[in-house]
Amino acid sequence: QVQLVESGGGSVQAGGSLRLSCAASANTDSTIWMGWFRQAPDKEREGVAIILRTGIRTEYAPSVKGRFTISKDNAKNILYLQMNSLKPEDTAIYYCAAHLLDMVAMWRVSSWHYWGQGTQVTVSS
């Protein structure tokens, strides 16, 4: 069992930056793969960034590539998402995910077992 707690959300103007954190209760096989997803109002949850261990492999959604950076501190069991050049369309609740069940379908929400409660990010124009 792994508990995930996100923090760092808030309100910023377009062009600004935020860093999200996700504290995991344990560093186990369930946290080898971790990811960030987001859900905007009236939209489905979508993948943002995924990481293997501390960065052996990272994957990004096309909409955030070049602006967001995912990283992980294994010693502290914390996952990060550095978000730069934020746009109004980045407004959403951001969720941390762990324990990837299906590597082939890593962008699918159902492929992840553990979820945090989410943190709100609001970007104004």
For the chain, give the percent of residues with pLDDT over 70.
Answer: 100
pLDDT of residue 29: 84
What is the per-residue pLDDT across 44-86, written as a single tens digit (0 to 9) for each?
999 999 999 988 999 999 999 999 999 999 999 999 999 999 9
- CB contact set of 62 (below 8 Å; sequence gap of 6+): none
pLDDT of residue 79: 97
For the chain, give the percent of residues with pLDDT over 90.
Answer: 91
Which helix (DSSP H) or strand (DSSP E) does residue 12 occupy? strand 10-13
pLDDT of residue 28: 83
